[in-house]
Structure 1
């Protein structure tokens, strides 16, 4: 079969022949890959910048995808740590980490949407007791995950969603997706009285925004939950100590480890249904797996989906 193969953390994958996969465990099955998203997580695990990276090479990347099982049914599957990911004609999945997809599911849309959509979906369902009518700030709303987060917060009943980002052109498109207000980081105090922050940015921008936002709150004793989800601007953030004293701030993270795999899997069917039914707007572009070298270094604003 063919696969995208990485030989080191600092070079793009190459399209090459690769040994066929073999199922060895009780719950494993060999499946045909139909579509696999090129996510930030995939690149980060490959270049060893993500905390869950194994650093093993050679590596076939790909953390999830839409697959066809031996009975012809379509599944969305999430892979555990493995050197044989979904950027291949076929791979091995643990059936317990997959869900059957609804009739009419578009493999490319599902592959594009599930990983970025899952970040906000799981954060609001499994890391924070979100309630209808609460107010949400999305930091980094112009990226794929942030764009999905705006829509998901509204779908869950947020009374107000504030979308913050640096790309003013992309910010202008977010009111059509449910954002009640769009702001730049320089205008962060406009979101002072939200109940929860979904942070896809972290790094210095978060550190510089946190204290002005907190000190501008009408009632600093009102709880604010800050959920760290992504770190596109930096792995560390120099949070000022005053931020932890000046307001009733609760900082937590949402991701692999802080949320058990079973909780992620439990949320997948409803998210897949929302994507299939068109409730969430998805920006996706299918590219051939054979073009992996070019796709790997692409700066496209669309979520690229590799199709064998």
Structure 2
């Protein structure tokens, strides 16, 4: 078969022939129809993701839309030890797959499920989020952040504060459900002050930035809260701005801050998969929107580093 193959962590994958995986107990060989190029895929392909074992060669891709031997189409999440999804075929564990409705667009599903899943699962599994609460999305101008704005409003958030750097993407977020937008551009200290003023009394933070912006934002938000004993759930999902922060000890004593992560390990695979059918329904119904750029898998090397339009996600397709 053909696949995107990573043979060096410092080069994009190349389209080449690769051995078709042998079906194993509990796994089914499926035709891959579409697989999204997510940040999680990039970090796996360059060896920087925390689950990377350093072994090469590898086929990247963490999820996709596949066709089972009986013709049914499913969305599935690949096992950590299975070949990636950017190939004509891969192995699928039926316990990590959900059927797609006949009218589901494989490209849209492949583009949207991974970025949407992060905030959908976080708000439904990591915290007891209730309609009427308020949410800050830190890093809202990325694809996952844009989906998080939509999802927070869809799940009943009364107030969604969207903070991000890209002014073009920031301008689009009120149309997706943001009630307030905050620019993270310019002086970092001033940006943190803007975040603190706009999001002082939110109930939940969905954080895709981490690093220096989060390090400044946490005290800025907490010191402005009307009632510091009111719980604030800070959910760390991404680390676009850096993997580490320095957290002053006083913020943990002076406010009711609960920091947690949402991702592989903090949630069981079964818990994540249990949320997928409802998310598929929302995407198929058009409740949540996503822009996709479908490209043949054969173009993977060129497309890996090519710029895309704001809000658009590359989805590799096969002729299967």
Superposed pair shares fold, TM > 0.5: yes
Instruction: Give the SS at the match of 2:50.
Output: coil
Corresponding residue of 1:203? 211
Matched, 1:304 2:293: no
**Structure 2 contact 35–64 (Cα < 8 Å) conserved:** yes
Corresponding residue of 1:58? 57
Q: What are the within-5 Å matches in structure 2 for residues 112-191 of structure 1?
A: 112-185=111-184, 186=191, 187-189=194-196, 190-191=198-199
**Structure 1 contact 144–303 (Cα < 8 Å) conserved:** yes
CA distance in 1: counterparts of 2:195 and 2:250, whole angstroms: 17
CA distance in 2: counterparts of 1:241 and 1:168, whole angstroms: 34
Corresponding residue of 2:14? 14
CA RMSD of aligned residues (A): 1.0
Shift of 1:292: 0.6
Q: What are the within-5 Å matches in structure 2 for residues 257-272 of structure 1?
A: 257-272=265-280
Corresponding residue of 2:235? 227
- Tell me which moved more, 241-250 or 127-136: 241-250
Corresponding residue of 1:245? 253
1:8-32 Cα offsets, whole Å, 9 max, x none, are: 211111100112221011x211100
**Structure 1 contact 29–94 (Cα < 8 Å) conserved:** yes
CA distance in 2: counterparts of 1:83 and 1:110, whole angstroms: 21
CA distance in 1: counterparts of 2:314 and 2:248, whole angstroms: 37
Corresponding residue of 2:187? none
CA distance in 1: counterparts of 2:158 and 2:213, whole angstroms: 26
CA distance in 2: counterparts of 1:55 and 1:45, whole angstroms: 9
1:45-79 Cα offsets, whole Å, 9 max, x none, are: 12121111122111011100000001111000101
Shift of 1:262: 0.2
Structure 1: runs of 5+ lacking an equivalent: none
Structure 2: runs of 5+ lacking an equivalent: 185-190
CA distance in 1: counterparts of 2:146 and 2:247, whole angstroms: 25
CA distance in 2: counterparts of 1:246 and 1:294, whole angstroms: 50
1:167-211 Cα offsets, whole Å, 9 max, x none, are: 122111000000011012311121111000000000011001110
Corresponding residue of 1:288? 296
Instruction: Give the SS at the match of 2:172.
Output: coil
Shift of 1:83: 5.6
TM-score by length of 2: 0.94
Corresponding residue of 2:287? 279
Give the paired residue count: 307
- CA shift in 2, pair 1:184/1:97, >3 Å: same
- CA shift in 2, pair 1:299/1:239, >3 Å: farther
